[in-house]
Amino acid sequence: MKYGLILKFLKILVFGKRALWWSTTRAYFMLEKAGRGLLYPFSRIDYAMSLVLKKMGIKRPQGWAVSRNFIQIVAFAGLVLIANPHTKQPLQKNPTVLGQKSIIYTISGGEEIEVEEVFAEIMADTQPVPSWRQGSVQSENDSAGLFLSGVPSRLELSRQSAAGTAFTKPTILPGVQLPGLRTTIVEYEVAPGDSLGSIASDFGVSLATIIWENKLTTRSIIRPGDKLKILPVTGIMHTIKKGDTLKKIALAYQATADAVVRFNKLDEDGTDLIIGERLVIPDGVLVGTPAPRPSNQRIAAPPGSRQTPGASGFIWPSGARTITQYFGLFHHAVDIAGPLATATYAAKAGTVEKAQCGWNNGYGCYIIIDHGGGVKTLYGHHSRLLVSPGDHIEAGQTIALMGNTGKVRGVTGIHLHFEVIVNGVRVNPLGYVR
């Protein structure tokens, strides 16, 4: 089939070349015929000049109109004519005002153009904010805790106009958090599809910050509904103990004492440290602990399927049921379309053989599960994978989220590509799932 397409493409090129040659030759002949009448008077003049030169005994060089010297002279003269008006610009009365020769300048009456500077006036409503010494976890209604003391909580840009253009104040939706202004710890409830990496990115902190504050490990699993404490900045929390000093605390976490003082609003000499109080150490690290990396195991998967496996042990593999393409001669799978991030379920219990993202021969982010007995299932085109190779999977467990990675038709191609493979041969999946 591939070679047939190539042959058709080559035939199209051949016919296109012939059509182009035929059209250009016909156009040339038509232009030549039309131009003969226009060029005839010039040819008569040229012939007469050559006769006069011949009678005078002057031998005219052949092809003088197309000689290199003649073309160079004409090109140089053209450049001089083009550049001449620009050479007079510095001698004008007011060279800083451009376009004095233009039509719009004449219509405007010759008035000089003035540039008006417009400044946006920032009006701030400031609210007192409790410091770290007054609490660490923010309640749901503690909107004041989202901002530094003395920093505007609402930005009002006064309306200004210049030359008919208005600058209007921006709209800041209620509840939207301005980056870099939070000073308190917030408590976040894990939502379906969240991962520690995505949560860290949303709040603008490092993955290690969330893991250290919530006493997690690199193999911890989070689930929807779990509560996580999110620090306002990348760093770590420290509980003051007897004998602690600012310098000692900063060195313990490879941070700077100035940053600790500035963020926690402490005295520069550290005399106001209180035993038992918790401090934020900006950019602090837990010495001796490697920086954690995102993993599929820490993704909060949506709930699994509620279907009961049939006698064969198989269930429907998706939260959507719209089939957009059936099993056929050139398509050895079933395509099930649905919204982005629709849950994909394991069609049968087994062990994950492959779970990887990339092009993968057009499968994109795909999973292969080995069910034993020579039976395997393949799930392709996901936006996110929720399992790793070697994991044991139960029937109906959520293993990935639907997407459009790999060989699909853009954003409209969101679907699950589902295959059933028996002893290395792809068979019709609808013989196993309903």
pLDDT computed for residue 301 by the predictor: 64
* 318, 323, 327, 330 alpha-carbon torsion, rounded to 10°: -110
Task: Please count the residues of the chain.
Answer: 434
Tokens for 288, please give them.
Answer: 């001796």
DSSP 304: -
Q: Cα–Cα–Cα angle for 5, 8, 14, nearest 5°? A: 145
The Cα 120–Cα 167 span in angstroms is 8
pLDDT at 254: 85
Confidence (pLDDT) at 168: 42
Identity of the amino acid at 59: K
pLDDT of residue 100: 57
Q: Are 203 and 209 in contact (CB under 8 A)?
A: no
Distance from C-alpha of 332 to C-alpha of 335, rounded to nearest angstrom = 10
In the chain, the amino acid numbered 366 is Y
Give the residue carrying structure tokens 């909060």: 300
Kind of pairing between the strands at 227-230 and 322-325: unpaired
353, containing H or E segment:
strand 350-356
Helix (H, G, I), strand (E, B) or coil at 126: coil
Reference 274, options 249, 239, 231; nearest CA is: 239
Is residue 205 a contact partner of residue 230, using CB atoms and an 8 Å limit? yes
**3-class DSSP string for 385-406:** ECCCCCCEECCCCEEEEEECCC
Give the pLDDT of the chain (434 residues) as one tens digit per residue.
567 788 888 888 888 888 888 888 778 777 777 766 666 677 777 777 777 877 777 665 556 565 667 777 888 888 787 776 655 554 454 544 555 555 555 555 555 545 455 444 444 444 443 333 333 333 333 333 333 333 333 333 333 333 343 444 444 444 444 444 677 889 998 887 677 777 887 888 888 888 888 988 766 677 788 889 999 988 899 998 888 888 888 888 888 888 888 888 888 887 888 888 888 988 888 876 655 554 444 455 677 788 877 777 899 999 999 999 999 988 999 999 999 889 999 999 999 999 998 899 999 999 999 999 999 999 999 998 998 899 999 999 999 999 999 888 776 789 999 999 999 999 999 999 98
Strands 334-337 and 278-282: unpaired
> What is the predicted pLDDT for the residue at 355?
93
C-beta of residue 407 within 8 angstroms of C-beta of residue 325: no
Closest-CA residue to 367 (of 380, 376, 358)? 380
Task: Say which residues have a Cβ less than 8 Å from residue 123's Cβ, sequence separation at least 6.
Answer: 152, 156, 158
Identity of the amino acid at 261: V
The Cα–Cα gap between 167 and 69 comes to 59
3-state secondary structure of 228: strand
**Whole-number CA gyration radius for the chain:** 38
Pairing of strands 186-189, 375-385: unpaired
Tally of CB atoms within 10 A around 178: 13
| Closest residue by Cα to residue 237 from 252, 223, 226 | 252
* Structural domains in the chain plus CATH codes: 304-431 (2.70.70.10)
Q: Which bin fits 111, alpha (ψ -120 to 50), beta or left (φ > 0)? A: beta
Local structure of 193: helix, strand or coil: coil
Residue in 160, 303, 132 with CA at minimum distance from that of residue 231 = 132
Q: Go through 275-300 and write b for each residue having 16 or more CB atoms within 10 A of its CB, e for each that does not.
A: eebebbbbbbbeeeeeebeebbbbbb
Q: What are phi and psi of 379, to 5 degrees?
A: -130, 120
Tokens read off for 251 = 């060195």
Any idea which residue has 């950019």 for tokens? 283
Q: Which parts of 150-220 fold into alpha helices (H)?
A: 196-203, 207-213
